[in-house]
Amino acid sequence: MSNIVVLGVQWGDEGKGKIVDLLTEDADVVARYQGGHNAGHTVMVRNKQFILHLIPSGILHKGKKCIIGNGVVIHPRALIDEIEGLKKRRVTVGRNLFISGRAHVIMPYHTLLDGKHEEARGSQKIGTTGRGIGPAYVDKMSRTGFRMIDLLDSSSFKAKLKANLEDINFLLEKKYRQKKISANRIYNQYMKFADYLGPFVTDTVVLTNDLIDKGRNVLFEGAQGTLLDIDHGTYPFVTSSSASAGGVCTGLGVSPAKVDGIIGVMKAYTTRVGEGPFPTELQNSLGEELRARGGEYGATTGRARRCGWLDLVSLKHAIRINGFTGIALTKLDVLDGLDKLKVCTSYTYKDPANSCGCSKKGKPCKVTDMPQTVKVLDECEPVYKELDGWHKSTKGATKMKDLPKQARAYMDYISEALNVDIDLISTGQKRDEIIFVNRPFKKAKKKK
Radius of gyration of the chain (CA): 22
By CB under 6 A, the residues from 257 to 296 that bind ligand IMP are 273-274
Per-residue x/- track, 82-121, ligand IMP (CB under 6 A)? ----------------------------------------
Q: How far apart are CA 157 and CA 147, in angstroms?
A: 10
For residue 304, the minimal CB distance to ligand IMP (Å) is 11
Stretch that binds ligand IMP, among 6-14, 93-101, 177-185, 324-332 (CB under 6 A): 6-14
For residue 152, the minimal CB distance to ligand IMP (Å) is 27
Active-site residue (options: 21, 37, 41, 53): 41
Contact 330, 426 (CB under 8 A): yes
Report the residue number, 224 or 244, with the smaller CB distance to ligand IMP. Answer: 224
Stretch that binds ligand IMP, among 8-16, 153-161, 254-262, 286-294 (CB under 6 A): 8-16
Report the residue number, 261 or 274, with the smaller CB distance to ligand IMP. Answer: 274
279: nearest Cα among 352, 361, 374, 358: 374
Give residue 174's identity as a one-letter amino acid code: K
Positive or negative: CA dihedral 347, 350, 355, 358: positive
Determine the Cα angle at 425 with ends 63 and 238, to 5°: 80
Q: How far apart are CA 309 and CA 344, in angstroms?
A: 7
Count other Cβ atoms within 10 Å, centred on residue 400: 14
For residue 150, the minimal CB distance to ligand IMP (Å) is 22
Please select the residue that binds ligand IMP; options are 2, 6, 12, 222, rule is CB under 6 A.
12
Distance set, CA 434 to CA 329, 372, 399 (Å): 10, 36, 8
For residue 272, the minimal CB distance to ligand IMP (Å) is 7
**Binding status of residue 247 toward ligand IMP by CB under 6 A:** no
For residue 369, the minimal CB distance to ligand IMP (Å) is 23
For residue 340, the minimal CB distance to ligand IMP (Å) is 28
Residue 53 among the catalytic residues = no
Please select the residue that binds ligand IMP; options are 57, 164, 224, 426, rule is CB under 6 A.
224
The alpha carbon of residue 429 and the mean position of all alpha carbons in its chain are separated, in whole angstroms, by 18
Report the residue number, 42 or 208, with the smaller CB distance to ligand IMP. Answer: 42
Q: How far apart are CA 434 and CA 85, in angstroms?
A: 28
Q: Say how many residues touch ligand IMP, by CB under 6 A.
A: 20
Active-site residue (options: 13, 21, 114, 333): 13
Q: How far apart are CA 244 and CA 226, in angstroms?
A: 5
Q: How far apart are CA 227 and CA 370, in angstroms?
A: 10
For residue 8, the minimal CB distance to ligand IMP (Å) is 8
Task: Give the H or E element holding residue 422.
Answer: strand 422-426
Task: Give the H or E element holding residue 436.
Answer: strand 434-436
**Binding status of residue 239 toward ligand IMP by CB under 6 A:** yes
For residue 36, the minimal CB distance to ligand IMP (Å) is 8
Stretch that binds ligand IMP, among 199-207, 234-242, 352-360, 406-414 (CB under 6 A): 234-242
Q: How far apart are CA 376 and CA 387, in angstroms?
A: 27
- DSSP string spanning 36-73? -TT--EEEEETTEEEEESSS-GGGGSTT-EEEE-TTBE
Q: How far apart are CA 307 and CA 284, in angstroms?
A: 10
Report the residue number, 130 or 404, with the smaller CB distance to ligand IMP. Answer: 130
Report the residue number, 164 or 240, with the smaller CB distance to ligand IMP. Answer: 240
**Binding status of residue 228 toward ligand IMP by CB under 6 A:** yes
Q: Do strands 381-388 and 340-349 pair parallel, antiparallel, or not at all (unpaired)?
A: antiparallel
Cis peptide before 236 (omega within 30 of 0): yes
Count other Cβ atoms within 10 Å, centred on residue 292: 13
264: nearest Cα among 349, 327, 190: 327
Per-residue x/- track, 25-64, ligand IMP (CB under 6 A)? -------------xxx------------------------
By CB under 6 A, the residues from 119 to 148 that bind ligand IMP are 126-129, 131, 133-134
Per-residue x/- track, 344-383, ligand IMP (CB under 6 A)? ----------------------------------------
**Binding status of residue 396 toward ligand IMP by CB under 6 A:** no
Determine the Cα angle at 443 with ends 437 and 444, to 5°: 145
Q: Which residue is nearest to ligand IMP (CB)?
A: 274
Residue 41 among the catalytic residues = yes
**Residues contributing to the site for ligand IMP (CB under 6 A):** 11-13, 38-40, 126-129, 131, 133-134, 224, 228, 237, 239-240, 273-274
Catalytic residues: 13, 41
